[in-house]
Every structure is written in C-alpha cells, then in structure tokens.
Chains A and B, each alone.
Chain A
C-alpha cells in the first residue's frame, strides 16, 4: 500500500534519482491542503451509513425488480449483503482519499471484485448505479453543497467546517469512484 509520499518515492526510485524540488513542491501543497483532506475524509466517514443506504435505496427505486422474488436484493439476507458491500466500497474509497493514492483501493478492494460478482451473479449495471449515487452524494458532502431537497428533511445534515475550495478534493474522490465503476464494468 502506498500514499502520496511513498508513491513519489517509488517512482523516483525507478529512475534512481533523488526526489527534487518539482515533486517536493507538489507534496508541499498536499501538506498545505492536508486539513481540507482530513475534513473531506471526515465528511464521508461521518455520513457513511446515510450515503450507503441512500445509494442502495436509489438503485432499488430505479429498478424495483431487485426486491421482488427472484431479484438480487430479495430476500432481506441479500439486501443486507448489498448494503454491506456498498459500505465496503465506500470505506476503501475513503482510505484512498486519506492516503491520496488509489493503491489501497486497487489492491484490497477492486482486485478480483468483478470476477467475484460475476461468479455470484451480482448484476454489474445495478452495482455501478449504486456506486454512481455514492459518488454524487460523497462529492456533495465534501464540497458541503448537499441540499435539503436532495437528502430529504429528516436526513439532511451539513458539516460545520471552515469554508474553503474543496473542488480538487471532490474531483479526486470522484476519480476513485470512477475507478470502482470502470473496474466493475
């Protein structure tokens, strides 16, 4: 498993050169933006169960066949497995966001996931849809732009954090979700 710093080390080592000013300036900005990153991770982790259940519920609303007899979220046992898997994917995306590198997501979550799902008969299109919804709500939580209309009045909650531009972190997180989507499809 690598983070942003050890990724720089591994790529510099492949050309046996020390890490010079260019790369170090990149890492310095990573350090300077560190608190934003921690807030972003916290925003996802603190709202994880909401993000996951919303995504799975959304996936089912769009395709109610999933919870009818013969559907992949029927009975409760399989629905529970679905919720659990959603949480696992979101957890590894959070790790990748914390580390600033996708290696933990690739090695520990995505490696062999598509084959496993194919073997178990999990429909790829529904899985991808759930990940897309998690991506949308996670990026909204990172930029703190989630609205009451999106969440519903009973669930709506915004983090009390200092205002700042988190668009680059939101797109980084979106990139990790896209990685999941392309690994599954």
Chain B
C-alpha cells in the first residue's frame, strides 16, 4: 500500500542505505498533515451511514427514472445495493484519509471499476450525482475543521473524476 513512509522506505531500500535526514524530513512532513486527515476520517466514520443516505436520496431525486421498472433502482434489493455502493466509496475515502494517499481507492475502488459497471450495465452518472452532493454538503466548521474538509473534499473529487 503506497504511502509516504512506504515510498521513502522503498527508495532507501533500492539504494541499500539507512533512512537519511531527507527521508526523515519527508516522513515528518506527512505526520504534520496527519492531524487534519485523522479528524476528517474520524468524523466521516462517525456519520458514514447518514452521509451516504443523503447522497443516495439526492441522486435518486435527480435521476428519478431509476425507480422505473427494469431500471437500476427499481427493487428493494437494487436500492440496498445502490446505497451499499455509496457507503463503499465513503469507506474507501475514510481509508485514504488514514493512509494519507489514494492507495485504497486506487486498489480497491477504481481498478476494474469501469469494467464492472459496464458488465452490470450500470450508469455512473448517478454515482457522480451522489458523490457531488456529498462533496458540496460538507461544511467547515460545522462538520469538521477547514483543513480536514480540504483533505476530505480532495479525495471526493478524486473519486468523482474517476467515475466521470
């Protein structure tokens, strides 16, 4: 899993040397930014279900045709799965906030995403709608501090871009 520490260690190992001062400096830099990321991750984990529900409601409101028979949100099973998928992305955002990189999203969310949605004949636009709603819904300092919100929004933007 790629993070600042693993990148530094991989580079030092490739050169066969002990961690140098500059290696330690870059790890320190990432630790200094970690407080904001941890705050965002903690707040998101605490409200994940509510956040996902709001995003889901917003996307179904925008794309109400999905409730029609034969569409992706027509049965209760489908509805549950739609909500589950949004929760899944938010969980990966939570992981990325903890790691301090996009590794979890890349490896467990985005890799193969296009192929899966194509094979299941799912539209990606509703996911974008849900995540964009969540992206604009977050507010500092009501939900978290400004710096934490910046880190959180950056990752939501990353997922939205991968789906659009």
Contacts and interface: CB of A to CB of B under 8 A. Distances in A.
Interface string A2-36: 11011011101100111111001001100100110
A2 B91 contact: no
Given A16-B91, A95-B12, A31 B31 contact: yes
Given A2-B1, A3-B1, A98-B9, 7 more contacts: A1-B6, A1-B9, A9-B98, A16-B91, A20-B42, A38-B24, A95-B19
B99 A104 contact: no
> What range describes how many residues of A lie at the interface?
35 or more
Contacts of B27: 34, 38, 98
A20 B46 contact: yes
6 contacts: A13-B95, A24-B42, A24-B98, A28-B38, A48-B18, A99-B9
B120 to A, nearest CB: 19
Contacts of A8: 98
Interface residues of B, number: 39
Contacts of A13: 95, 104, 108
**Chain A contact residues: over half helix, strand or loop, or mixed?**
helix
A126 interface: no
Interface in B3-59: 3, 5-6, 8-10, 12-13, 16-21, 23-24, 27-28, 31, 34-35, 38, 41-42, 44-46, 48
B3 to A, nearest CB: 6
Given A13-B108, A27-B38, A95-B19, A6 B3 contact: yes
B108 to A, nearest CB: 7
B95 A9 contact: yes
A34 B3 CA distance: 16
A66 B1 CA distance: 42
B24 A6 contact: no
A98 B17 CA distance: 14
Given A5-B98, A10-B1, A98-B9, A18 B48 contact: yes
Given A2-B6, A6-B99, A95-B13, A42 B41 contact: no
Contact of B90 (A18, A42, A104): A18
A28 B35 contact: yes
A24 B21 CA distance: 28
A19 B90 CA distance: 11
A78 interface: no
Contact of B1 (A9, A38, A94): A9
B104 A9 contact: yes
